[in-house]
Amino acid sequence: MTFRVNIVKAGWLWLIGGLALFFYSFTQIDLGLTLTRASWWQTVQRAFQQIGYFQRPLSTILYLLILGFLFVFYFLLIRSRGEYSSCPLVPRKGGWATAGAEWLGIWPLIFLTVAILGLAYNAFSYDLFNYIFDAKIVTFYHQNPFQHKALDYPADPMLGFMHWTHRTFPYGPIWLLVSLPISLLGFGKLLPTMILFKALAVASYLGACWLVWKLAAADKKVLAFFAFSPLVVVETLVSGHHDLLMMALALAGFYCLQKKRLWLAWLMLGLSIGIKFATGFLVPVFLWVSWRQYRGKKVAWSQVWWLSFGLMVMAMLMAVYRAEHLMPWYFLYAFPFAALLAKNWLFWLVGIFSLGLLLTYAPFLYYGHWDPPVSAINNGLIFGSLVTGFVTLTFGKNKG
- pLDDT per position as a tens digit, 69-125: 999 988 876 553 333 233 333 344 444 443 333 443 688 889 999 999 999 999 999
Q: Is the pLDDT of residue 286 over 50?
A: yes
Name the domain count of the chain.
1
What confidence tens digit (pLDDT) does each residue in 129-140 have?
A: 999 999 999 999
pLDDT given at position 83: 30
Residues 265-279 as b or e (16 or more Cβ within 10 Å = b): bbebbbbbbbbbbbb
**83 and 1 Cβ atoms separated by less than 8 Å:** no
Q: Looking at the predicted structure, is the pLDDT value of residue 53 above 90?
A: yes
Show the domain range for 154.
7-399
> Per-residue pLDDT tens for 220-245?
888 989 999 999 999 999 999 999 99
∠ CA 96-102-106, rounded to 5°: 90
With H, G, I as helix, E, B as strand and everything else as coil, classify residue 35: coil
Residue 217 inside a domain? The answer is yes
Average pLDDT for the chain: 89
Burial of 33 (0-12, 13-18, 19+ CB in 10 A): middle
Q: Nearest 10 degrees: CA dihedral of 45, 50, 52, 56?
A: 180
Residue 1 lies in a domain: no
Q: What pLDDT band is residue 258 in, cutting at 50, 70 and 90?
A: very high
Residue 2 is assigned to a structural domain of this protein = no
Q: What is the pLDDT of residue 89?
A: 39
Closest alpha carbon to 284 in 310, 259, 323, 322: 310
Q: Within a 10 A sphere around the Cβ of 388, how many other Cβ atoms? A: 16
* CA atoms within 13 Å, Cβ hemisphere of 26: 17
Query: In sequence order, what DSSP letters do the residues of 65-128 get, joined into one string?
Result: HHHHHHHHHHHHTTTS-GGGTT-TT-EETTEE---SS--TTHHHHHHHHHHHHTT---TT-SHH
Per-residue confidence band for 208, with pLDDT thresholds at 50, 70 and 90: very high
Residue 331 lies in a domain: yes
pLDDT of 3 reads 43
- Residue 79 has a pLDDT of 54
Least confident residue range of 282-291, 332-341, 383-392: 383-392
20 has pLDDT over 50: yes
Q: What is the mean pLDDT of the segment spanning 170-189?
A: 97
**Cα 358 versus chain centre, distance:** 11
Q: What is the pLDDT of residue 77?
A: 61
The model's confidence at residue 10, banded by pLDDT at 50, 70 and 90, is confident
What's the pLDDT band for 170 if we cut at 50, 70, 90? very high
Q: Is residue 359 in a domain? A: yes
Nearest to 312 by CA among 330, 290, 291: 330
**Whether the predicted pLDDT of 248 surpasses 80:** yes
Of 20, 385, 75, residue with least CA distance to 225: 75
312 pLDDT tier (thresholds 50, 70, 90):
very high
Strand pairing of 91-92 and 95-96? antiparallel
Residues 6+ apart with CB under 8 A from 250: 268, 269, 272, 279, 282
The candidate with the shortest Cα–Cα distance to 168, out of 142, 153, 146, is 146
Strand positions, DSSP E, the chain? 91-92, 95-96
Q: Residue 191 domain-assigned?
A: yes
Residue 193: is its pLDDT beyond 90?
yes
Would you say 271 and 249 are in contact if contact means Cβ atoms under 8 Å apart?
yes
270 in a domain, yes or no? yes
pLDDT given at position 48:
97
CA dist 263 and 318 (Å) reads 28
Question: Is there a cis peptide before residue 373, judged by omega within 30 degrees of 0?
Answer: yes
